[in-house]
A and B are shown apart, each in its own frame.
Chain A
Amino acid sequence: MSTDVEDLLREGMERFTADLRAPAGLTCQIVRRRRRRRLALRSLTGAGMALSAGAVALAVVVVPSPPHGGIDLTADVVKHVNSALTAADPGDIAQMSVTTSSASPYGGEATTTTAEEWSYGDQWRSVTYSSPGHPLYDEGYTASASSPVYTLVNYSTRTWTKRPGLGRPAAAIPFSTLPASRGCRPAIGAFPLLYKFGLPGIGLPASTLPSTVARSLRTAVACGTLTIAGRQSIDGIETIKLTSRPGSFISETIWVSPSTYLPVRVVARSASGAPAVQQTANITWLPPTAQNLAKLTVPIPAGFRKVSLSAVAAPTFRQISPALLPRPRAFCLMPAVNACGNPPLPVGGPPLGSGYR
């Protein structure tokens, strides 16, 4: 009987579980589950903190000077945002749509540039548009076993290049000079696309991989310059609005989802006294499905010519009129920073779209 039961049990186990298949994207599910659980735990231990966040945040809107308790609340929300961003890196793909509006201080027309960006772990892609639906540059890093591979497509010259390693052209605007005390950097200094004036690589040191959006935002919120400024509906989501405190050298506003604490929109404006430049980044957090991961790959359009990296970037340099080059101080967002008084920038200019319209 014993042997019978053993055999039957063995067969039963095989049959009972025969049609079981592990769900696809198990890792993603786990990452999401961890995040959900953390948030749920916080909700429980916070004893209605989220509700009170809304109430106090609204109070902050009505009363310009927040009560002392507001500071703690801000710290708590910022902590949650930080945790959510940690869980999202590299759990989710951050998809950003960035619009840069710049009122030219040189008598030219105000310009608007749009760009899209995706980041996931060590993979990153950015498409800059000259006008809606017309890409100008498509560049990105693809992770490979040995080293990252940099790909750049220039739609205006119908050329492309690809090379292994950190092959991105050197940064033309020294954003690396942004202050980074105690690992703190404003979002504007961390986003590759923010204040990216039309040339591939601007805004990024050539020797580093672009930071993920999640990591950049985490660094930004860690600055401690944000405070709760109320609630606001963004695309139907009643978000928590965080703004930089008065006196910050860059005015930044971050809207976070109250359910996930992930930022859904970031707006950065130049500080008072500098030309009016505003960048708006709408952020969507995507699960790393095969379809979404495909967005991280730079496609090479048919008929485009492969050239060297310098040949892809050089025509862009030439198309920008020297007359349009900004005076260094004019674009300086931080008058107190020594870099603003440096000699004129080697390259630069108005946002991308202006040269091609």
Chain B
Amino acid sequence: MAAGRSTAELERFLAERADHLLRTAVLLAGNREAGEDLLQTAVERLLRRWGRIDGDPEGYVRRTLCNLAIDGYRRAGRWRQKERLLRTELRQPQDATGDVDLRDALVRLLVQLPARQRAVLVLRYWEQLTDAEAAAVLGCSEGTVKSSGSRGLARLRELADGWTDTAAMSGRNGKRS
């Protein structure tokens, strides 16, 4: 019966936390499909170790999600294809009048950051972890988290500036025509 209880606990955990973890996974992966894929892989690993995990299973899944994302989760295959597709989408925004919300744009631009920087930003600004907590999840020093976060934000700023310039240009062009 022990296995049954464990399964029930797992189901309960997933029922309570899967939505949030999916959101984390999607932010790390860049889109829903890749995020679901990432979460499934992480939960699959959780399943394998379910009976042996001490402490917070959510922490384990979060750490696995980040590691998978950083280690270049399916980078050679589907991921790169999707990344290219995303970039295409970003280069050709559907709303050419520049009326695209910068908040959405920033999240979409996350995908262009190196995986570790992306993971740091997701942990800091979505999971609301401190630098120390993020460092523990990523298995690196606090200094690395700080520098990665800083570089990530700087890069986002550049990308955002480019985005707003392009959007403004598109807007102007739109008005002209």
Interface residues of A (CB under 8 A from B): 1-2, 5-6, 8-17, 20-23, 26-27, 29-31, 33-34, 90, 121-123, 143, 145, 147-148
Q: How many cross-chain pairs have Cβ atoms below 8 Å apart between A and B?
A: 100
Segment at the interface with A among B74-82, B89-97, B100-108: B100-108
B3, B18, B27: which contacts A13 (Cβ < 8 A)?
B27
The docked-state distance in angstroms from the alpha carbon of A43 to that of B35 is 27
Q: Write out the residue numbers on chain A whose beta carbons fall within 8 Å of the beta carbon of B103.
A: 8-9, 11-12, 15-16
Interface residues of B (CB under 8 A from A): 1, 3-5, 7, 10-11, 14, 18-19, 21-23, 26-27, 32, 35-36, 39-40, 43-44, 47, 101-108, 110, 121-122, 125-126, 153, 156-157, 160
Q: Write out the residue numbers on chain A whose beta carbons fall within 8 Å of the beta carbon of B121.
A: 9
B107–A145 touching, CB < 8 Å: no
B4–A10 touching, CB < 8 Å: no
Chain B residue at minimal CB-CB distance from A14: B126
Chain A residue at minimal CB-CB distance from B2: A122
Q: Write out the residue numbers on chain B whose beta carbons fall within 8 Å of the beta carbon of A8.
A: 102-103, 106
Give A86 Cβ to nearest chain B Cβ, in Å: 13
The docked-state distance in angstroms from the alpha carbon of A26 to that of B44 is 10
Instruction: Check A22/B27 contact, CB under 8 A, given A6-B153, A27-B43, A145-B5.
Output: no
A-B contact pairs, 30 of them (CB 8 A): A5-B156, A6-B153, A9-B103, A9-B110, A10-B125, A10-B126, A12-B105, A12-B107, A13-B27, A14-B126, A15-B104, A16-B27, A16-B103, A16-B104, A17-B22, A17-B26, A20-B22, A20-B23, A21-B19, A22-B18, A26-B40, A30-B40, A30-B43, A90-B7, A121-B3, A121-B4, A122-B4, A145-B5, A147-B1, A148-B1
Q: Write out the residue numbers on chain B whose beta carbons fall within 8 Å of the beta carbon of A21.
A: 19, 22
Q: What's the dominant secondary structure at chain B's contact region?
A: helix
Chain A residue at minimal CB-CB distance from B45: A30
Give A104 Cβ to nearest chain B Cβ, in Å: 41
B7–A121 touching, CB < 8 Å: yes
Instruction: Check A27/B11 contact, CB under 8 A, given A8-B103, A10-B126, A15-B103.
Output: yes
Q: Write out the residue numbers on chain B whose beta carbons fall within 8 Å of the beta carbon of A90.
A: 3, 7
Chain A residue at minimal CB-CB distance from B1: A122
Give A26 Cβ to nearest chain B Cβ, in Å: 5
Q: Write out the residue numbers on chain B whose beta carbons fall within 8 Å of the beta carbon of A26.
A: 14, 18, 39-40, 43
Q: Write out the residue numbers on chain B whose beta carbons fall within 8 Å of the beta carbon of A15.
A: 103-104, 107
Q: Write out the residue numbers on chain B whose beta carbons fall within 8 Å of the beta carbon of A145.
A: 5
The docked-state distance in angstroms from the alpha carbon of A23 to that of B35 is 12
Q: Write out the residue numbers on chain B whose beta carbons fall within 8 Å of the beta carbon of A34.
A: 44
Other than the known A27-B7, A143-B1, what 9 A-B pairs have Cβ atoms closer than 8 Å? A5-B157, A8-B103, A8-B106, A9-B103, A17-B22, A22-B21, A27-B11, A29-B40, A33-B40
B157–A2 touching, CB < 8 Å: yes
Give B16 Cβ to nearest chain A Cβ, in Å: 10
The docked-state distance in angstroms from the alpha carbon of A77 to that of B53 is 34
A9–B4 touching, CB < 8 Å: no
Q: Write out the residue numbers on chain B whose beta carbons fall within 8 Å of the beta carbon of A16.
A: 26-27, 103-104, 107-108
The docked-state distance in angstroms from the alpha carbon of A169 to that of B18 is 42
